Each structure stands twice: as structure tokens, then as C-alpha cells.
Amino acid sequence: MSALFRPDIEGLRALAVSGVVAFHFGLSDLPGGFTGVDIFFVISGYLITGQLLREIAEDGRLDLWRFYARRARRLLPASLFVIFATLVAGYFILSPDEQSLYSKGAMYASAYAINFWLIRWSFDYFAPDAANNPFIHFWSLSVEEQFYLVWPGLLLLAAWLRPGKRTAILVIGLTGAVSFAVCAWLTTVAQPWAFYFSPLRAWEFAAGGLATMAPAKFWRERPQLGAALAWLGLALIAGAYLTFSEQDTPFPGVAAVVPVAGTVLLLLSGSGNVQRGPSAMLALPPLQWLGKLSYSLYLWHWPVVVYATMMVPDLSWPGRLACAALTLALSIFTYHFIENPIRRNGWLMAHAARALIPAAMLTGAGVMATYANARLAVDDLDPSQRIIAETAAQPSTARAEVGCVLDYETVTPKPCVFGAKNAERSIALFGDSHADHWSTPLIEAAKKNDYKVVTWLKAACRASRLTVWSSKLKRDYTECDQWREQSIKEIIALRPSLVVISEISLTSSRKLSPDAQQSDSLDQDWQAGLRATLEAFSQAGLKVAFIRDVPFNSMFVDTCVARALWRGQTPSICDAPRTDAANDAMAALERDIVRAVPNATYIDMTDRFCDAKTCHVFIDGKLAYRDRHHMATPFAQTLEPPVERALFSTGAAEK
């Protein structure tokens, strides 16, 4: 074993991977376990910076080929093995369209670039659920690999400017400070960039890099101080694990300082070989064993839990323990038969080219194979699968026009005109994406009755005057409030014959983000907000029609139906009990509020989706939803007759 080996760092790896695995396996007592990734980043910065600085000090140069050969032997074989095994398992579990989509993720993962793919994914309101992506955890490996590409050059630059620790500290510190400042800012305005973009995680690696330059002698001579700081570091990590939440904690940003600082303190304490307190605990044999397996555990745990919950949506704790045992078994196999043998192979270690040339070939083969799998999975789709894919992808009439459904950041309304555009009479459609999916039947019905439809639509922005917490933005959705007020003014100025409103029900939004911040008074605030919006139009002399929200499904309907057909099952297995899906109690309260406002009408089309006991997802041969809670456009088209009757035959749209 190398004289530089630090058992406390091996134990830190165990602590990091345990937090991540526990979090992903649903251990609610560790809601901040995801911060284990930040521990890994600091450890990597510490070890790699120390290794590179020692080589520069001893040789006056860096053998970059040897450095990258070590990284390739260490990381590439196991990751590619897990990627290919995950794809093979996916053939039996995923629908063809999912196989194609996630093969693209595997392609980016093979090239260590999936973090860039996920940034784009994060800003797509209708992107598939990240919880179903078996390769999403490769983002952190991509960030690390990108760090390895840039960091040696940065340290060489510091040595070229002026050899010695001071310049290295200055360069690393400045890099870390800039990275942290931008990361903290972007966490509040565009969180996916702060989370996935490697330059904005550089400060965590830099923190580890700075720690490696602290004199070990200082800590050897002050063992009591080292032990005290180690306890503080462990407390900071424990605090992050126990109190942070993916939904409620804006992350990474300033919050990430907590696990990063905790890791730095533990690394500093251990650098003096102070074998007491946390350092001694981290050196215990069980943690050493787990630390050695940490890389393989990280690679395997996520595809195991993703595929298990796909096959058994309500996975019990015994089932999760079985998944943990499977993860451990796969990790032990990978470590002993793939990771370690290749990493320590004498022939590969003898010369950098012997590792780098096969690594480049393997990476290229991985990218080509995953790309080919993405194409082949949908090359000859069964007609039913093709219809489902095309149905789910078809936008509503309003969304098909670029810019007519505003994104999260835009606050200036953009009215769009549809239907009989030269008609004297108009209908305003106002609300979030749950108003948008009614645009298809509404616009068609308006055409038939010589009305134009003017839309005011914004993603995740309900019409009710209610400030909500955005899980995507990790903060109050203030852009929605600004947009809503201006839209109400513009609609009143337009003087339409009718204002049509729809929005996601409060019950559905809670199911969609069960861990999101919820105030105790949210129900009362929503009732007051809905009433305030309706009264604003009513008092202006405008008629209002409020369309009840569609039922909510516990799973992505298009995915569920596609998988069912792929496995030879009927789509009805994706149906849901009405008591779970229809939100009847909330709808009754909503109906009473609407009917109490003059000139307001409540329209309920739930019977198009549900009978007395069951809400269906495949109706009259058509897929009813494109995901969990948005209507599929071809099915929405079939609702034009009842929409026309509700708005025009009853005189709701007549002045």
C-alpha cells in the first residue's frame, strides 16, 4: 500500500456514497444525502491537486499522458460495463421509445458529457421524468472528467507564472472564488446551470485543492485542534444529510458550502495523521471496505433502483433492501473482476499509450454503440408504439406556435391570436399549461362560431392570484406573479366576450411535488387567490368560464401504456382509481368558489375521463395524456364537441 494512502479518505468515500445511495433509495431520514456528491468533488480536488503539485515540484513538469492513463484505467472500464449492462436490462424493461431516449443519455455518459445534455433537459417543461433516467447519475462523473481535463493546465500555468505554493494558492483560490460567486448567483436564477455546469462546480474541487497545500506538520503538532475540527467537519456533513432537501434547499449555491467545508475540515485533520476522533472512526474496517467499493456502488445503485421502481412502482422496504443487496453484489463483482484488475494491470501500467489507446477505442465504441442502439430501438417500431410516441410528442395548438406558452423567466405577456382572426368577437384563454392543453378543442370550437381566441399562457403559472414555490427554480415563482397581473390588465382592456381559465388543481400540484415548500395557509391563500382573479374579471363586466382540471396520474401515461404494449399487456393496467386521480373534494370546493362569483361558470368534463370508480388513460382508442397530467393533443381534439356545447350552446360566450 502506498505511503501516501489515507484511510480516513477511504472512509470519507464510504460516507459520501452511503449518503447518495440512502437518498436515492428513499431513506427519508437523510433528505440531504445527495450532498455526498459534493464530498466526492472535494476529495477529488484534494487528491488530484496534491498528486500534480508533487510531480511539478519533483520533476518541474507534468507527464500528462501518464496522468490521463491512470484516470482511464481507474474510471473507464467499470463505467462502460455498467452502461452496457444497463442498456441490455433496459431492453426487457423499457418501451422502445424509452430505449431510444435513454440510449442517447448513455451515449453522452460514455463520452463524459451527460451534464450538458441534462442542462438542456432541465429547461424542457415537457421533458421525461428525470427519475426514470437510468444514466442521470453519470453527470457527476462527467463533471469530474472535465475537471481532470482542465486542472493540470491550470496548475502548470501557476508554475509557469512563478513556481511555488503561493502562486498555486492564488490561482486556485481565484478560480474557486469566481466559480463560487457565479454558482451562488445562478442557483437563484437558473439552478440547472449551477448544478450541472462543470465550471460552476470548480470551486468545490478548488476547496480540496487548497486543503492539500496546508502544512501537515501544523496538524501533527496540534492533535487536539485537529480532532476538534474533525468533529466540526463531521457535524457539518451530518447537518447537510439530515436537514437539506432536494425540494426546499436551493442547491448548490451557498448551501453547498456546508458539506464542502465539512469535508475540507476532515481532510485537514487527517493530513496530520491524527488517529483519533472522526479520523479513527473513518479508518474502521467496514468503512474501508465500503470506501473501496464506493465507485462501483455509485455506478450501480441508480440503475438498480430505477428499474426496480419501474417494475414495482410501490416498492416496499423489503424490496428496497433486496435492491440494496443486488447493488452490493454487482458492485463487488465489478470491483474484483473489472475495476481492480484493469486498474492494476502491469502491462497497461508499463506505458501510457497502452492504456490510452484502448481507452480511446473503448470510448469511441461506447459512443457508437449507444448511438446505434438509440436508432435501432425505434427503427422498426410497432404501429401502436409509433402512435403513442407521436401522440405524446404532438404539441397543443397554442404550444405549436413558438413563444405562445412562455417559459419560467419571461414576465412580459405575449398574447397570441388563433381561430377566426378577423372576427369581431373574441375569447381569452388564460392560465398555465393546464389551460394550454384546452387550446386545441377551444380554438376549433371558436372557429366554428366565428370567434377568435387570444391566449395568455405561461408554464407552471396558475391564473389564481397565488405566489407559489417553484421546485424547478428552488424559490418563489415571482415571475409568475408579475406576468399574471399584467395579463389580467391586458385581458380586461381587450374586452373579450368570455375569459376561459384552467389551471392545475392544488391537489395535483401537491402530488407532483410532494416535498415542495407548503405554507400552512396555502389552501386559504389559493381560495382567496382564485376568488380574486375571478372577481377582477367579473367586476370589469366580463364573463368567465372555469374548466375543471383533468385527473392526475401517478405515472407517466405515455410511458406506462408503451411499456404495457411492449410486454403484451393491456393499457388498462395504467388506469387509476377515481378516488386517487380525480381530485373530487378539491373540485367541489373550487366549484363553489366559481359559482359564488357573478358572471362565472364552472365547466366539468371529468366524466370524459372517469366513470364512477376508475379514471382511464386510453379512451376510444386514443391516449388521453401525454405525461402524468397534460392531455394528449389527439385526444383533446375529440373534446371539441363538448367544449362547443359548454361555451356556445349554453350562451356562456354570448354578451
Kindly report, residue by residue over 586-599, the tens digit of the pLDDT. Answer: 999 999 999 999 99
**650 band by pLDDT with thresholds 50, 70 and 90:** low
Can you tell me the distance from the alpha carbon of 312 to that of 146, in angstroms, rounded to the nearest whole number? 36
| Secondary structure class of 610 (helix, strand, coil) | strand
Give the number of other CB atoms < 10 A from CB of residue 415: 15
Q: Contact at 8 Å (CB) between 632 and 626?
A: yes
> In the predicted model, is pLDDT for residue 43 greater than 60?
yes
Distance from C-alpha of 271 to C-alpha of 266, rounded to nearest angstrom? 9
CA distance 317 to 25: 9
pLDDT in tens, 344-361: 888 888 888 888 898 889
For residues 323-352, one letter each, b for 16 or more C-beta atoms within 10 angstroms of the residue's C-beta and e for the rest, the string is bbeebbebbbebbeebbbebbeeeebeeeb
Q: Measure the CA–CA gap between 550 and 511, rounded to whole angstroms.
A: 14
Give the per-residue pLDDT at 249.
87
For the purposes of burial, counting CB atoms within 10 Å of the CB of 61, is it exposed (0-12), middle (13-18) or buried (19 or more)?
exposed
Would you place residue 652 in the very low, low, confident or very high pLDDT band (cuts 50, 70, 90)?
Answer: low
- Average confidence (pLDDT) over 474-493: 94
Question: Does an H or E element contain 425, and which?
Answer: strand 425-431
Q: What is the pLDDT of residues 187-201, one digit of tens each?
A: 988 889 999 999 999
Closest CA to 438 of 530, 543, 547, 537: 547
CA distances, 285 to each of 2, 95, 290, 292, 628 (Å): 18, 43, 9, 11, 46
- List pLDDT tens digits, range 526-571: 999 999 999 999 999 999 999 999 999 988 999 999 999 888 889 9
Please count the other Cβ atoms lying within 10 Å of the Cβ belonging to residue 123.
14
Cell matching residue 278: 472522526
Q: For residues 439 and 640, what is the distance between their CA atoms, to the nearest angstrom? A: 10
Whether 398 contacts 404, CB under 8 Å: yes
CA dihedral 147, 151, 153, 157 (to 10 degrees): 150
Query: Mean pLDDT across the stretch 260-271?
Result: 91
- CA 120 to CA 489: how far, in whole Å? 33
Q: Which CATH number fits domain 396-550+577-610: 3.90.550, 3.40.50, 1.10.3470, 3.30.2010?
A: 3.40.50
Q: Among 55-59, 183-187, 272-276, 339-343, where is mean pLDDT lowest?
A: 272-276
Overall average pLDDT of the 629-652 stretch = 90
The SS3 assignment for 437 reads: coil
- Contact predicate 268/226, CB 8 Å: yes
Residue 3 has pLDDT above 60, yes or no: no
Helices (H), 25-112: 36-59, 64-93, 96-110
Cell of 603: 365547466
Higher pLDDT, 457 or 273: 457
Region 379-402: mean pLDDT is 88
H-assigned helices in 383-521: 383-393, 433-436, 439-448, 478-494, 506-512
Q: pLDDT at residue 2 above 80? A: no
Closest by CA to 132, choosing from 311, 254, 343, 5, is 311
pLDDT band for 105, please (50, 70, 90 cuts): very high
Intervals of CATH 3.40.50 along the chain: 396-550+577-610
> Which residue reads 396558475 in cell numbers?
462
Three-class secondary structure of residue 452 per DSSP = strand
Sign of CA dihedral 108, 515, 183, 12: negative
The pLDDT of residue 506 is above 70: yes
**pLDDT of amino acid 1:** 57
Q: How many CB atoms lie within 10 A of CB 159?
A: 20
**In the predicted model, is pLDDT for residue 422 greater than 90?**
no
According to the 3-state scheme, what is the secondary structure of 206-271? HHHHHHCCCCHHHHHCCHHHHHHHHHHHHHHHHHHHHHCCCCCCCCCCHHHHHHHHHHHHHHHHHH
Higher pLDDT, 313 or 284: 284
Angle between helices 294-311 and 285-292 (to 10 degrees): 70
**Is the per-residue pLDDT at 64 higher than 80?**
yes
Helix axes 138-161, 96-110, angle to 10 degrees: 20
CB atoms within 10 A of CB 393: 13
**Percentage above 70 pLDDT, the chain:** 95
Cell of 347: 502491462
Grid coordinates belonging to 48:
488530484
Q: For residue 125, is pLDDT > 70?
A: no
Please state whether the peptide bond connecting residue 223 to the residue before it is cis, i.e. omega within 30 degrees of 0: no
What pLDDT shows up at residue 517?
Answer: 59
Q: What is the mean pLDDT of residues 16-26?
A: 94
Q: Report d(CA 42, CA 209) in Å as an integer.
A: 8
CA–CA gap between residue 513 and residue 379 (Å, rounded): 35
- Alpha carbons 38 and 23: distance in angstroms, whole number: 14
Mean pLDDT of the chain: 91
Q: For residue 124, give the amino acid letter.
A: D
